[in-house]
Structure 1
Amino acid sequence: MSLSGKTALVTGAGSGIGRATCKILARDGAAIVAADVNVKKAQETIDLINPTNVKATSLSLDVSKSLEIKNALQKILELYLKPPSIIVNCAGITRDNFLLKLSEDNFQEVLNVNLKGTFFVIQTFANSIIEYKIPNASIINLGSIVGKNGNIGQANYSASKAGVEMLTKTAAKELGKQGIRVNTVLPGFIKTPMTDIVPNKVKEMFVKQIPLSRFGTAEEVAEVISFLASDKSSYINGASIDVNGGFN
């Protein structure tokens, strides 16, 4: 699947699905901008993909701050002379607690990163893509199965991911006429640093409910993202694609 000649910005690129996405997109020929609030982890991702011989850059980025996103765009324009045609919003956090004990700060922090951050990135980079007349652009946002079904202890995370899915569908309607496709990938239970902290007993309970009888891998999600980034998905817009092993 060739992404040669395309540049991809991946937020949350320092670990998990973001890191796997950088590796898969680079394998498929895209130049990579790996952005993360922890720039050291983003650089580690770049070091892992350098053997693929694509242009790759790490970037410090807190997606909850609109000014940092605008500054990131300017740095990318300086380096690549045009905005990326692939945007992957992987940046996300959890601050889990039962609804009755969830603090206002923890609720707001998750929405600021997961939902507002996705909005800021879409708005800033879509404007630049339109200004530079970049053809066949693709924005892929990370939702979650819990954004459809909810999950105990994740009122904030579930609400943020439900918001991402509806934000995506709205963006797809508004930006499609500008040649920008916008889609959501909805991972189920995926083996990442975010799920590593879940107690084993809880993970075993969920595995029993997954028809494929295992957690997914970050690479399996990244392969779907690469498909959505490519011209092979040229008529897919506003879609929500489950990557969950059949768990519903």
Structure 2
Amino acid sequence: MRALVTGGSGHIGAAITARLAAGGYTVAIADLAEPAPEVAGLADRYVAADVTSEQGAREAVQVAAGAGHLDVLVNCLGVSPKKNGRKRPLGEIALEEWERVFAVNVTACFLTMREAMPRLRPHANASIVNVVSAVAKLGAAGPDGATYGPAHPSGAHYCASKAALANLTVSAARELAQHGVRCNGVAPGYIGSGMGGTTDATVETRLLGQVPLSRSGTADEVAAVVGFLVSPDASYLTGEIIDVDGGWVPD
């Protein structure tokens, strides 16, 4: 079984890579950042590709699938620019930064899915999982000190990009179902590593006060849901986005 994890060098990506490797997958990581030695030891291949480009996405899929098919694609790459550990105000978001966030968080996922489709179709239980975010449904926080709305450090560009990815996930699920390919998402809340680890302490305290389980999540908890979604146990699930957020966003 072959899997491709984009953004596999990050904290959540590394946990997903470990989960898939433990499940018997031959895993390829596509990332511009070189994986740490312990992560590299879990993956069978590492592709230093910029998957925001058509060429990079094509190269990543080709390396992961080899001469055969691809069983699983997990899009885990993401970028969330901060300002001193807090959200960047809407009026301070430069167009260049806006475009970069959408390129990484949305366009790259579209490109890898498009390139992977022919490799996924011939195989039973082929699956795509996109790592979205709980803030896709929350939107950005209000100004510093505001008592309304959620408290979190993600800017409007990150929130909007993850909302777009959630919609793309559902659209792809409906189109790919006829080919037997499932497409789902996992929406992490506040994970105490990676991007979450750069949050201002005051914002973090307010955020965790909104979480019923009163703690941050772990990368392994996100990876466990990804492992379920790609397994035969989830064979009747497609077009779903599962929140892993400690109850932060009620459904």
Which has more helix, going by share of residues?
Answer: 1
2:81 pairs with one of 73, 95, 102: 95
Deviations 1:104-124 (A, max 9, x none): 001010000100111001111
Aligned to 2:137: 148
Runs of 4 or more, structure 1, over 3 Å off, are: none
TM-score by length of 2: 0.88
TM-score by length of 1: 0.89
Measure the CA separation in 2 of the matches of 1:99 and 1:145.
19
Q: Which secondary structure does the structure 1 equivalent of 2:78 belong to?
A: coil
Deviations 1:98-142 (A, max 9, x none): 101110001010000100111001111012323xx1221000001
Aligned to 2:123: 134
CA drift of 1:42 comes to 6.2
Gap regions ≥5 residues in structure 1: 1-5, 51-55
CA drift of 1:151 comes to 1.9
1:45 pairs with one of 39, 48, 53: 39
CA drift of 1:191 comes to 1.4
CA drift of 1:91 comes to 0.7
1:82 pairs with one of 62, 68, 73: 68
Query: How well do the aligned residues superpose, as a CA RMSD in angstroms?
Result: 1.4
Check whether the contact 1:90–1:142 (CA below 8 A) recurs between aligned residues.
yes
Check whether the contact 2:106–2:165 (CA below 8 A) recurs between aligned residues.
yes
Measure the CA separation in 2 of the matches of 1:28 and 1:113.
28
Aligned to 1:246: 247
1:16 aligns with 2:2: no
Check whether the contact 1:13–1:42 (CA below 8 A) recurs between aligned residues.
no
Percent identity over paired residues: 35
Q: Which secondary structure does the structure 1 equivalent of 2:127 belong to?
A: strand
Measure the CA separation in 2 of the matches of 1:85 and 1:99.
39
CA drift of 1:58 comes to 1.3
